[in-house]
Amino acid sequence: MVGIAYPTDKMMDFIEQELSRLQDTGLYRQLSFIDSPQEPRVKINGKETILLCSNNYLGLANHPKVKEAAISAIEKYGFGSGASRLVSGNMEPHRGLEERLAKFKGSEAALVFNSGYHANIGIISALIGRGDVVFSDKLNHASIVDACILSRAEIKRYPHKDMNVLEGLLKKHISHLTPHTSLIITDGIFSMDGDIAPLKELSELSERYGCMLMIDDAHATGVLGANGKGTPEHFGIDNPNIIQMGTLGKGLGCFGAYAAGSKKLIDYLINKARSFIYTTSLPPSVCAASIVAIDIVENEPQIRQDLWNRVKFFREGIKKAGIDIMNSETQIIPIFIGKADKAVRISKDLLDKGIFVQAIRPPTVPEGTSRLRITLMANHSLDDLKYAIDTIRQAVTTCR
């Protein structure tokens, strides 16, 4: 009997061919399993390695005070919240975290989302829609890109940090621009390049042309600024009209995200942000842990200074070795490689030598700009960083 090729068979053939293509081009991805907490050294397949690709910048993910807060909240509230915030999942730790975030960010109010992806999709699609215009940096995070597409607004992408082109686009659309039909959106720290958005210029342009301005401060929260409050504090900008978004799972070592701004903005998002309305809320233990993490950021500034000391040490060492770190200014330090398959080979070689760092390839970064993405933590030892610098230099030089 002759077999029939059902649609599911064709689908599996396509999947198999696409996976094969990804493997051939160095774009195939696999999960690495870590059998230990997020610390400067972790165990992978039973082998201890130096972790250089975690966003746990301040080392708070395994901090005793953060763990204690989570455990205490579980004992009091249980684990799951049971429902969305607008149904029955709105618990005291959620309100406590939002009040703490508003105080930390210097805003009237704040709203907690379940992740940075949830926050960007919810905020952006609530603020703009069909017939509106959004101006987005070409190197913005994928969640911003997806949110802009889902909003159905007209998307104008400007070259990375190019304020002249952005102003040209604003002038071109000036007849259409009003504060409720146009939005400029940017990362604070760009997650793959490690450079910082020109927020002063962006703030001035938004005011001049009457646009909303939103900043994704995911990688800056807890890290940038004299008190770790992010990009606006770093530049000394006090513009209450900036819509601030950030995450709790990077510098703060916890999980979730937030929007910070005026009370009216937060009330609006509660009623219009679909990713907030239709999602079971964060476990109360996560909120309790995040509150303590913010306390640590504010009360223990030496942790942040420890991070920047290590950033300076590593950057100077790796540049002295003649390695291209692109335009990094922060704790995110890319090692430019170029070809995807070459970046993968170097990453595997480094893992064999006890250094865990991921190869970042398209579509995460543009074609021809594959790299190793180094991220530093406040509690990395200088000896481990020196070993990493020497080993990375050897691996990159050998693979040229």
Q: Which residues are catalytic?
A: 191, 219, 250
Query: Kind and range of the H or E element at 213?
Result: strand 212-216
Say which residues have a Cβ less than 8 Å from residue 5's Cβ, sequence separation at least 6.
none
Q: Which one, of 144, 149, 155, lies nearest residue 191 by Cα?
A: 144
| CA–CA separation, 106 and 292 (whole Å) | 18
Other CB atoms within 10 Å distance of the CB of residue 352: 11
Tell me how far apart the alpha carbons of residues 28 and 10 are, in angstroms, rounded to a whole number: 21
Which amino acid is it at 57? Y
d(CA 53, CA 50): 9
Pick the closest to residue 189 from 151, 213, 165, 225 (CA basis).
225
Round to whole Å and give the CA distance between 161 and 196.
9
Report the Cα 74 to chain-centroid distance in Å.
27
- The CA-atom distances, in angstroms, between 120 and each of 209, 328, 367 are 23, 24, 25
CB 108 within 8 A of CB 263: yes
What is the number of helices (H) and of strands (E) in the chain? Answer: 14, 13
Alpha-carbon separation of residue 296 from 11, 63, 70, 130 (angstroms):
50, 10, 15, 42
CA dihedral 364, 120, 253, 301 (to 10 degrees): 110
Contact present, 393 and 323 (Cβ < 8 Å)? yes
